[in-house]
Structure formats: C-alpha cells, structure tokens
Structure 1
C-alpha cells in the first residue's frame, strides 16, 4: 500500500481513537515463546490505509511501571477486549496468547485469515501472509525485517513499514477469504474455529501445545 500512513505511539493508544467495528491486529515480539519473549509492538488498522503501531516499552526503556508483570496500556487493552469489536489476525493463535500473557487480556471476538485460508484453499500449502497477499490481492509485501530486533528502543523506518504491512491488507484479504468460505459452505465452520482461538491460546500458555490434548 504505497500511500499508507503510519502512526507510532509509545506505551498505549491515544485517547479517543476509534478504529471501527473490525480492527486488523498483529504483534512483534522478541521470539516465539510467550513465556520468555516479551511483546514489543502491537499494530492495528481499520483497513483504511492507516496503521497505528503501539510500542510496548518495559520500564527499563522508559515505559510505565508494570502491574503484576503486565504492561499498563488501558486503552489498547480495552479495544482488544471489546466484545463489539472484531479483531482480525493472521495466525491468531500466537497473537492472542502473547497478548494474554503480556497484557492480561482475552482478545475476542477474533477472525484469522490463516485458519480461513487452510479451511478453503486446500489445493495448496501456501497459507503465509506474503503468499496470500500475492495470490489473492496481487500485492507484494516484504518479510525482510521479520527477524530483526523488535526490542530496540528506537525502531527503524524499515521495521515500522514492515510491521504496518502485516495489518494494512488484512481487511481486503478477509473479504476475499470470506467469499471463498461462503462459496464452499464452510463459513459456519470457520466461525466455530474462530470462537475457539482464545481458548487455544490459553492452552498453549499452559503448555498444551505439545502434547495435543485432542490427539488420541
């Protein structure tokens, strides 16, 4: 999205910001273990070409004091927990877990474009965000900053642009995937999967990713 607008916020969303009934959300962390690796950035977009990036700073880097180990960002937490706001993710399973661990919030209701793609695009194993944006939207996004240091006190313009790209296209992507789910008669099944995702994240935090409690 060449004309995208990026807003970087420190520690919380600004007061009075509304992003509408469906908000695209993504996270950047120091790693993929939510018990060990801290949450560094939360990206949000209303699907209007504008991305709001919230840098979650620990007290040692200038952030507010933590309460029971949780980041103090009440406006961000309220938006994520709002039952009237749908949160749209790609691979929600990880994001809802890290947000629960770092912010103490159950993120719901949610939709996940990765789950949707796996339910309806069974002719391929390419379900990554980059591949879906290319194949369904004709949009090329770069993953060059994916493994950069998200815990740095100052994030580079390249990091911010990369982080924004992960939410700027989710509304359009969901529109395409929702149409495919309807066409194939799997939208109701997808909605049941989405309702389970907050519990799936909680199970992961308890260590039930492996072994899988649903396995024989």
Structure 2
C-alpha cells in the first residue's frame, strides 16, 4: 500500500479523491479536539483504500476539502467504513449538513459477530490482525503544528488496519448470513437527525429536577438559551452553564437578575451583565411543557406493575441466554426499553418483533410472555423449553 504521509495541498487531495472514487470502499477516521469549543475542531482526516492511504491536513492554509466531502456524502458507489464512527459522522455533518453514505461501522458489525457491544479499536485490530497498536500517540494535541512523523504514522495506521480488517469482516458476515442484520443499525447510525444540534431539543439531555410541567418548561427554555449561547461563542455547553446549575435555576428560578449573584456555579457578574440579562429573558418566556412533551415516568412501563416488572426481568434473562447461544451482542437483538414495553402488553412498533430480530429472539420473547415458553435447567445449564399443556397451567 502506498502511503501519503501528510497532504497539505488541494491538487494532491483532488487527485487522491479521484482515485478513491473508483474504489469499492474507503476507510475513514478523523482526529479532532473539542475540549475548548462547542463544535469539534477538525485537525486531521485519514483515508485509505486497498491501494493507498493518506493523512489530510484540514488546517493547511488554502486546502480545499470539497472533493473529499463530496466523495463522502455524494458518491453512493463507494462504501465508507468507520470504527465507532459517531463523532466522525458528526464532523462531516457539521461541515456539510449531510452524513457519509453508504456507510459501514466495524464496531456495530462486531456486535453481530459476537465481539461485544463496544469493542475498542485496538482490541479489534488485535483480534482480526494479531497486531498490537502502539497507543503512545493517543493523547496527541492534534491541533498543534507541525505534527511529528510518529503521530502521522499512528493516525494513518487507524485506516490502513481498518482497510485490512473490513474485507475479512465482510467475508465472515456473508458466511454466517448476518450481513442483513446490520442494515437497520447502519441506517440509524447514518441518520442526519442524530447530529443536528437543535436548541429546541437540548433540554432532553439535561437530568431534570422534577416532572412538573413548569419546572421542565424552564429547563427547556434555559437549555435552548444555553445551546444558542454556546453555538454563538463556540464554547462547550459547560463553559456557559453546567447542567447542575441549569437544573437548580429551573427548580428555583431567581425573581430578578440581581439574584443570579447568589446562584452557585455562576459568576457574580451575571447579576448585571448582558448574558445574565439574556438568561432572565429566557426564563421570562418559559412556558410549562404540554402533556405531549412531558417525558415518560422513570419506570417507562405503562401499566406494568410489580408482576410485569418480574416478567421484564425474565425477558432480560431470555435475551442473555439467546445472545449467548447465537454469539451476538444482546443490544443488537433488543433493548431494555423494548422488553419492558413487551412485558406491559405492547405488541406493535417494536424492532424486536420485526424481521430477523423476530426470528432470532422476538418470537420466543412473545411466547415467554404468553406462557408458551419456560425456563428449565438441563445438565446444569439454563435452557428454554416449550411449555406443554399451557391451558392446564392457566
């Protein structure tokens, strides 16, 4: 494989992208810093196919990233391969308003191959290639220039290893017939809505102090205000106001701006400055949440009750057994919330009751809830058995 250590000019990048556009797939990784900014600061982009790899410097003066971004978001013939690519996709979305497609995430694929729910990159490389990665450059300040050769070599290794792993992983998925299991997960990962910072929805990330509509209305108003302030200043949300302070103000709103000086976590200057005034204006405009907006209660189990909660626990045990038997991450089969809803009587709209998930787990889950499946100990191991004479047991 030919390695381009660091691409800093537009012509070289455009030529690379033209060749990558003919590939069946490319592997992609990014290095970024976000400790001091709202939006992640893109510092390096690594791309490889089976023939050549490069580290691209997006901070190089005058470099035009348009050919690369077009390859990522507008070329449907080239599969884009990431590992745990959520933050990489966020960066592309911030630059283009789109996400890379079609895409493949090796961490998600590893779930279907029995490698756990969140296998790390170094463990993935070790398990598939028998290569131990030197982690010495992990904590590099990627925004600092010039980058050292060992830092660039480390960064490019992320995509060259992935380019070797992906065909092996694809072959294993085809052999086991599990490739189709991943379609929905990849579609979910690539949904642009995951990466849009909508100020109107920012309150959902905050642990609310109560479920009172007026308190939650203030949480929504303050979270929206904080999101806009953070975006406008390109600062992390916590630099504007920490969640704990936000929740405290929502639960015990100050009557006047001068009272902000008494709020723990705020500078006394907020009692008279412009940012404090904007916060008070946001509080003044806050409206109680409507019934439709109110989040579900903590148990999230409508009508479940104590017996239903025990049924949900049995479903979780069934999920553990089934994921072990077929060697797949349980999270890929079903999520805890789905099990609770099934135990509460829900039979529609659950992913586990559709397609391959139904065949592998959902059918048995319904049978367990409805009394057609039971637990048994056989040879010292917990297994499932079909119930006989269910009517007599009722």
Q: Shorter chain as normaliser: what TM range?
A: 0.7 to 0.9
Residues 1:16 and 1:4: Cα distance change in structure 2 (over 3 Å): closer
Tell me, in whole angstroms, the C-alpha distance in 2 between the residues paired with 1:180 and 1:33.
41
What does residue range 181-196 of structure 1 map to in structure 2 within 5 Å? 181-196=173-188
Tell me, in whole angstroms, the C-alpha distance in 2 between the residues paired with 1:180 and 1:114.
14
Do the aligned partners of 2:31 and 2:45 also contact (CA within 8 Å) in 1?
Answer: yes
Tell me, in whole angstroms, the C-alpha distance in 2 between the residues paired with 1:175 and 1:198.
21
Q: What residue is the counterpart of 1:69 in the other structure?
A: none
Tell me, in whole angstroms, the C-alpha distance in 2 between the residues paired with 1:182 and 1:96.
26
Do the aligned partners of 2:108 and 2:117 also contact (CA within 8 Å) in 1?
Answer: no
Q: Which runs of 5+ in 2 are unaligned?
A: 206-294, 296-334, 338-394
| Deviation at residue 11 of structure 1 after TM alignment | 6.0
What does residue range 9-158 of structure 1 map to in structure 2 within 5 Å? 9-10=7-8, 12=10, 14-17=13-16, 18-19=19-20, 20-31=23-34, 35-48=38-51, 50-57=52-59, 62-63=61-62, 72-81=64-73, 82-122=75-115, 124=116, 127-158=119-150
Q: What residue is the counterpart of 2:268 in the other structure?
A: none
What is the total number of aligned residue pairs between the two structures? 200
Q: Secondary structure at the match of 1:36?
A: coil
Tell me, in whole angstroms, the C-alpha distance in 2 between the residues paired with 1:34 and 1:189.
37
Q: Which runs of 4+ in 1 moved over 4 A?
A: 207-211, 213-216
More helix by percentage: 2
Please give the TM-score of this superposition, normalised by the length of structure 2.
Answer: 0.45
Do the aligned partners of 1:89 and 1:112 also contact (CA within 8 Å) in 2?
Answer: yes
Q: What residue is the counterpart of 1:67 in the other structure?
A: none
- Select the structure of larger CA radius of gyration: 2
Do the aligned partners of 2:42 and 2:58 also contact (CA within 8 Å) in 1?
Answer: yes
Tell me, in whole angstroms, the C-alpha distance in 1 between the residues paired with 2:159 and 2:175.
25
Tell me, in whole angstroms, the C-alpha distance in 2 between the residues paired with 1:97 and 1:34.
14
Structure with the bigger RCO (C-alpha within 8 Å, sep 6+) is 1
Tell me, in whole angstroms, the C-alpha distance in 2 between the residues paired with 1:37 and 1:205.
13
Q: What residue is the counterpart of 2:170 in the other structure?
A: 178
Question: C-alpha offsets along residues 40-84 of structure 1, whole Å, 9 cap, x if unaligned?
Answer: 111000123x32111111xxx7346xxxxxxx5211111112111
Cα RMSD between the aligned structures? Answer: 2.9
Tell me, in whole angstroms, the C-alpha distance in 1 between the residues paired with 2:81 and 2:117.
21
Q: Secondary structure at the match of 1:178?
A: helix
Q: Secondary structure at the match of 1:169?
A: helix
Tell me, in whole angstroms, the C-alpha distance in 2 between the residues paired with 1:109 and 1:139.
28
Q: Which runs of 5+ in 1 are unaligned?
A: 65-71
Residues 1:126 and 1:109: Cα distance change in structure 2 (over 3 Å): closer
Q: What residue is the counterpart of 1:8 in the other structure?
A: 6
Q: Secondary structure at the match of 1:16?
A: helix
| Deviation at residue 125 of structure 1 after TM alignment | 6.0
Tell me, in whole angstroms, the C-alpha distance in 1 between the residues paired with 2:102 and 2:118.
26
Residues 1:103 and 1:149: Cα distance change in structure 2 (over 3 Å): farther
Do the aligned partners of 1:29 and 1:39 also contact (CA within 8 Å) in 2?
Answer: yes
